[in-house]
Structure 1
Amino acid sequence: MFDAVLIANRGEIAVRVITTLRRLGIRSVAVHTPADAHARHVLEADTATAVPGYLDIEAIVEAALRCRAQAIHPGYGFLAENAAFARRCAEAGVVFIGPPPEAIEAMGDKIRAKATVAAAGVPVVPGGAEPGDDLVAVAGRIGFPVLVKPSAGGGGKGMAVVRSAEELPAALESARRTAQAAFGDGTLLVERFVPDPRHIEIQVLADAHGNVIHLGERECSLQRRHQKIVEEAPSPLLDAATRERMGAAAVEAARSVGYTGAGTVEFIVHGGTREHHFMEMNTRLQVEHPVTEMVTGLDLVELQLRIAAGEPLPLSQDDVRLTGHAVEARVYAEDPARGFLPTGGRVLLLREPSAPVRVDSGLVAGETVGSDYDPMLSKIIAWAPDRAGALRALDRALGETWTLGVTTNVPFLRALLAHPAVAAGDLDTGLVERHLAELVPATHVPDDVLAAAALACHHALTPARPGPWDVADGWRPGMPAAWTRWRLESRGEVHEVLVRGLPATGAEVVVRDAEPITARLSVHGDDLAVTSEGRTRRYVWARDGDTVWIGRDGAAWALTRRPLGDPGARPGGALAGDGVVRSPMPGTVLAVKVAVGERVAEGQPLVVVEAMKMEHTVTAPVLGVVAELPARAGQRVEMDAVLAVVRPGGDGPRDGEGGETGEEGA
């Protein structure tokens, strides 16, 4: 076994690998960019060293040699499926903990992979591929609808369902353009579209001694835009006979390319007939590997290490047992109410559930979640003897998960788990998109959250031993106590809450002009409890300047105190119709499309912002004139940063009649 292993990755997967290395007594070496110098994976590793970037092959190999690491674990993403990286490791005498580069290349090309596994007897979806096939003719032969896919890359980029011959030429052109831009390869394939498809994958393990086994399946059908959200093991669809057939097919697929290490063979499965076809193979550890670990009791990272060190597999196919059920949810820094745009910010308060659930996380309180990397923050995994119990345990755990300071998708995940089709196991890859409107949480701030926020703000401004002159807007001789008016903004809407009295002993509260209620606030560090009308509600909270974050049941609301004067003057939030245009996500300004003084129409593009390889065009909220333009091409901006101000109406200078000129960027 190795003495030291370098992890060529960051975030939760780096922490996950470090956990196994520590248990085995192997020294862990973390790499990090300057921005990640204080990240959790750096703090938990035995040794850490800086690199210019996580894709810098030479710097990472040099770091392994410098730190005397005999092997490199690539995690997933970044360099995990990079054959050139695997070859460079071998040249440097460092073990790449993954398959041979030839296997990576064979399975990295979808066209070549399908041909290879088909020759080994693995069922594949009928279709055709370039350059040998005329895709228009292939589509006509197999019948519509068809699925157009790039040969290179993954993640759903360039993939499209085409339902008629008339749509096909434009779809091919669009897919080719996307594939060329994303992967540098515009080669395409066309496959028969499987109705009501389920995405089910088989975990395989292969050693260098000819042994190949599978560890059962994972159901990954709950997806949005071809990105997995919730995964589980085993699948609620498969029976024992289908599992055995799919497992055998996955083993043959791995054998066909001389595979070694841990890998995943992905199948598209007909929800009615259970007919399965090979889709692709991921030649690395998968994000969702913990659900397999939970039902098998095996540590896949340990097995990767042992295989890479030359050991034979310590178990045979007959030794594999699936016990109980496990479900995993991915927690993302994204805002479902804003079209799932990436979010970010400083983690003011971090609460993650404890045992019996498992949490794979790369977060620490106080760190800043930026826009340079994938928005996944953590994974919550629950196990129970049966599926219903695992779903309940996961929902409870998500209700105890807060990352105050960063908006996450936790309320969306809870809504998805509660959906009747999910509870029944009636899944397919289109379920989330069909029911998206009912799954995205409302942006409305509940009355009890507004009351809790106002009471917390009031409490923070009240001395520990107040006198009659110390209470904000308090009583004066001969007069009853006055009301304190709190104006709290959330998502462009300002809410007014009136508070009178001392929250610690009982204060009157009026929310949205309703009847006053008497509420008592109890504060214990980051925990709040509000008792009113015989009922106590519990919250977590954190403050960031004028903004107070309130969390309840896994959801969180950011409420910003506004002065009683101009409601639109304070940066960080905007009232609807005030003409202030703010960044919908933290990122980098790619382009500025207008200039100060320019007349713009409602909906006209103003600024393009990029985050995590996602571009978003910010448009004019009203008809008017660009009065201010703080945004500059290349500038990094935080979420809700002011990009432009459009003065409503038709008056003002015309194009070129004065004012500062905006910058154009690309």
Structure 2
Amino acid sequence: MFRTVLVANRGEIARRVLRTLRQEGIRSVAVYSDADADAPFVAEADVAVRIGPAAARDSYLNIEAVIAAAIETGAEAIHPGYGFLSENVAFAEACERAGIVFIGPSTDALTVMADKITAKNHVAEHGVPVVPGFSAVGMDDEAIAARCAEVGFPLLIKPSAGGGGKGMQVVEAPADVLEALATARRIASASFGDDTLLIERLVVRPRHIEVQVLGDNFGSVVHLGERECTLQRRHQKVIEEAPSAVITPEMRERLGAAAVAAAQSVNYRGAGTVEFLASGDDVSEFFFIEMNTRLQVEHPVTELVTGVDLVREQLRIAAGLPLDFTQDEVTITGHAIEARVYAESPERGFLPATGTIVRFTPSARARNDSAIESGSTISSDYDPMIAKVITAGRTREEALTSLISALQETVVFGVETNIEFLISLLARDEVRGATFDTGLLDRLGTPERVPTAPELITAAADAMVRPPENGTWGARDGWRSAGPAAVIVSHFLDGDEVVSGTADDGNAAAQASFAVDTDGGLWVHAGAQTRRLVPLSRRALLERHLASLEEAEHPSDPQARAPMPGNVVALHVADGDTVAVGDRLVTIEAMKMEHPVVATAAGIVTIDVAMGEHVRRDQPLAHITAPTTDSAPTTDAGETDA
């Protein structure tokens, strides 16, 4: 076994790998960017090496810097986690040249499976069922459109390189093909440096089923059952579970055999996942999507139902040891479900959120694989996932009920999260009954903001007039709305709304959790809700009222503002253009996602930003003025129309 292993990743996956390294008595090395200097995973490693600035391309994607850190620290092997360099052939080759073991498959397997077109054609030759479609390599848009018409609609256009659903475009009709091609190419080029596209028939009402496989260096390949990953938003998984509620033992055997065949076709070694789409109308019909040649985000649910530590198995295989169990010895016991917690605002279209974690308290009833602790900083440089909450039970219903309770108990102060959305999602009939498909979350759209519960406001009001004994509020001069404990009513800014609460005898506050951020905002958690309430004095209330009167009397030109911090990657209009409501103006990229900003009014547009500019949340990007019209049109003869 290795003596020293470098973890070439960050966040929760780095912490996950470090945990197994500690258990196995292996010295660990972390690498970090400037943005992660104070991150928990850096402190938990035995050794940590800075590899560059915040931008991933200059740090976590910098092959030379990662290899240099491994050589400097005497690492014999590198675990790439997932994302970043985990499926990068050039990185695996660089490890080989440096005499360092890449904890992953061979470069041949990486090469075949890295390209969706090559992978599809390859596994089809080995009897694995694939979705009908074609490669767009060497074809112009006209030829692609013609082939699309032959295959039939709806279609899915997706980048051949990369993964995670990035760049995928659903096309319902021939008229939409050209715009979808342009969008898919732009995202593919920016994300993967390769704009090659793959077009496939879209499976209606699909379920996303994936199979975990392990292969050693001696030709043995086993599968560890399936995971249901159907609950997705914009092709990004949100809830995962093992096993699937709709897969029969007979179908599990067929899926497992197909996954093993795909892995054996490339002499696979290490941990990998073979992903399939199953028809929602007939789950016995399934098609190969791709093979992820790495550990998956959702691997904990497989670990909980099989008892297999997948990171440990990766280490053993990479060290040249054979699998120490056979397919017949793999058992699936009970049920496990995972929810991904993102720093995002569901009510704002699930836009990423940034900030400092004022307090993080995970639930004691769940497995928590988290990237954060109290004091952690969430920036716009990386993916917005900050934690995974995983529960297990004897039955699916037991695991599901436990997960809802665990999420209700999870406290995150300092940034907006999707926890409240996750709780409501898990309570839906489609989820309880396992009747969902991959389009459910997109059909649900942006959720409306749930009104703040009265008891939460009451708790905040009680805390205002009866500060906790720990002095959290007592140290803030002038923070209370009126000072003495005799004040009965407290006023708060709850988002854009002013709310008021009357203090009770302290019962509501006793059931809540509180924290105050550096801007004076009061974070409150009670029941399933978390809110940031900004205390308002009477003067502040008066100022808000006067400002609203001024705005009503003198409205300003409609502005398009940045929905989150990010970089401008596309300008869709120019100064002086006439736009209609809904027209795209600017596209912002943040946390590996593109977010178009559209016109909310018709008129003449003026762009206030430049391509490549980094913008802050709510920064004006463009403004629109009403078009001028002639008050008295004239005829060619100069006569005024009657």
Unaligned ranges ≥5, structure 1: 476-480, 498-508, 510-517, 523-528, 531-535, 652-666
Letter paired with 1:387: R
Say if 2:239 is the partner of 1:230: yes
Residue 566 of structure 1: aligned partner:
543
| Structure 1 pair 537–249 and aligned structure 2 pair: CA distance change class (3 A) | same
Q: 1:520 aligns with which of 498, 501, 505?
A: 505
Alpha-carbon deviations, 1:341-384, whole Å to 9, x = none?
000111111110114x2110111111211110000001011000
> Deviation at 1:474?
7.7
Letter paired with 2:115: D
Q: What RMSD in Å do the two structures reach over aligned CA positions?
A: 3.8
Mapped partners of 1:247, 1:608: distance in 2: 42
SS in 1 for 2:203: coil
| Structure 1 pair 428–94 and aligned structure 2 pair: CA distance change class (3 A) | same
Letter paired with 1:454: A
TM-score (normalised: structure 1):
0.82
Q: 1:453 aligns with which of 457, 460, 482?
A: 460
Residue 584 of structure 1: aligned partner:
563
Residue 113 of structure 2: aligned partner:
107
Residues 32 and 49 in structure 2, CA contact (< 8 A), matched pair in contact too: yes
| Structure 1 pair 197–592 and aligned structure 2 pair: CA distance change class (3 A) | closer
Say if 2:172 is the partner of 1:163: yes
Letter paired with 2:271: A
Most deviating of 33-42 and 78-87: 33-42
Mapped partners of 1:383, 1:117: distance in 2: 34
Residues 626 and 644 in structure 1, CA contact (< 8 A), matched pair in contact too: no
Letter paired with 2:544: P
Residue 494 of structure 2: aligned partner:
490
Unaligned ranges ≥5, structure 2: 53-58, 629-642
Residues 540 and 552 in structure 1, CA contact (< 8 A), matched pair in contact too: no
Letter paired with 1:65: I
Residues 331 and 376 in structure 1, CA contact (< 8 A), matched pair in contact too: yes
Residues 589 and 607 in structure 1, CA contact (< 8 A), matched pair in contact too: yes
Q: 1:60 aligns with which of 54, 66, 76?
A: 66
Mapped partners of 2:231, 2:438: distance in 1: 6
Alpha-carbon deviations, 1:226-277, whole Å to 9, x = none?
1100000001111011110110111110111121110000001112322111
Alpha-carbon deviations, 1:29-80, whole Å to 9, x = none?
0001122111000011111111011111001101011001100000000000
TM-score (normalised: structure 2):
0.85
Letter paired with 2:494: S
Mapped partners of 2:126, 2:164: distance in 1: 26
| Structure 1 pair 538–461 and aligned structure 2 pair: CA distance change class (3 A) | closer
SS in 1 for 2:268: coil
Mapped partners of 2:285, 2:590: distance in 1: 39
| Structure 1 pair 45–625 and aligned structure 2 pair: CA distance change class (3 A) | same
Mapped partners of 1:151, 1:471: distance in 2: 57
Mapped partners of 1:407, 1:240: distance in 2: 41
Mapped partners of 2:229, 2:612: distance in 1: 37
> Deviation at 1:325?
0.3
| Structure 1 pair 622–145 and aligned structure 2 pair: CA distance change class (3 A) | closer
> Deviation at 1:460?
3.9
Mapped partners of 1:169, 1:27: distance in 2: 52
For residues 523-542 of structure 1, the aligned pairs below 5 Å read 529-530=508-509, 537-542=511-516
SS in 2 for 1:292: helix
Residue 345 of structure 1: aligned partner:
355
> Deviation at 1:612?
1.2
Residue 79 of structure 1: aligned partner:
85
For residues 411-426 of structure 1, the aligned pairs below 5 Å read 411-426=420-435
Residue 501 of structure 1: aligned partner:
none
> Deviation at 1:190?
2.5
Residues 480 and 535 in structure 2, CA contact (< 8 A), matched pair in contact too: no
Mapped partners of 2:599, 2:623: distance in 1: 7
Residue 266 of structure 2: aligned partner:
257
SS in 2 for 1:392: helix
Alpha-carbon deviations, 1:463-519, whole Å to 9, x = none?
999xxxx997589xxxxx98566432122222244xxxxxxxxxxx2xxxxxxxx61
Q: 1:308 aligns with which of 310, 313, 318?
A: 318
> Deviation at 1:105?
1.1
Residue 662 of structure 1: aligned partner:
none
Residue 34 of structure 2: aligned partner:
34
Residue 4 of structure 2: aligned partner:
4
Q: Work out the percentage of aligned pairs sharing the same amino acid.
A: 49
Residues 219 and 234 in structure 1, CA contact (< 8 A), matched pair in contact too: yes
Mapped partners of 2:622, 2:122: distance in 1: 57
Mapped partners of 2:155, 2:604: distance in 1: 47
Instruction: Report the count of equivalent residues.
Output: 604
Say if 2:530 is the partner of 1:551: no
Q: 1:354 aligns with which of 364, 379, 387?
A: 364
| Structure 1 pair 622–166 and aligned structure 2 pair: CA distance change class (3 A) | closer
Say if 2:205 is the partner of 1:199: no
Mapped partners of 1:251, 1:647: distance in 2: 57
| Structure 1 pair 544–194 and aligned structure 2 pair: CA distance change class (3 A) | same
Letter paired with 2:531: W
Higher helix proportion: 2
Mapped partners of 1:117, 1:383: distance in 2: 34
Residue 513 of structure 1: aligned partner:
none
> Deviation at 1:174?
4.2
Letter paired with 1:493: E
Q: 1:125 aligns with which of 119, 131, 139?
A: 131
